[in-house]
């Protein structure tokens, strides 16, 4: 049986790294997608059976390129990546 593939965005640290670690422990090969290439590579080194996909998920072309590099359709997708905006609620545009 082929090993399943998990793609976790924002997996370079924090909650995404924890999710990627859990997926790896559950037997998935993990694609670590993160805007911080160094963080993605470090996470891959910790996981072992994983692939780093440095990518800013707000850039559609970058995502397309990363998925082409992956060359497979993930069995599990965790859209964890996010952004943070600081300021007063009424002053921040959405």
CB burial of 32-67 (b: ≥16 within 10 Å; e: otherwise) equals bbbbeeebbbbbbeebeebbbbbbebeeeebbeebb
Q: What is the pLDDT along the chain (94 residues), one digit of tens a residue?
A: 689 999 999 999 999 999 999 999 999 999 999 999 999 999 999 999 999 999 999 899 999 999 999 999 999 999 999 877 788 888 877 6
Class of domain 5-91: alpha beta
- Tokens 């891959």 correspond to what residue? 44
pTM: 0.86
* Tens-digit pLDDT profile for residues 3-29: 999 999 999 999 999 999 999 999 999
């Amino acid at each position: 049986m082929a090993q399943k593939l998990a793609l976790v965005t924002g997996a370079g640290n924090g909650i995404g790294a924890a999710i990627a670690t859990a997926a790896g422990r559950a037997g998935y090969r993990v694609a670590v997608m993160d805007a911080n290439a160094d963080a993605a590579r470090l996470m891959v080194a910790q996981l072992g059976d994983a692939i780093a996909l440095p990518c800013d998920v707000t850039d559609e072309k970058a995502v397309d390129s990363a998925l082409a590099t992956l060359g497979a359709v993930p069995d599990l997708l965790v859209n964890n990546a996010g952004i943070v905006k600081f300021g007063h609620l009424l002053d921040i545009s959405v």
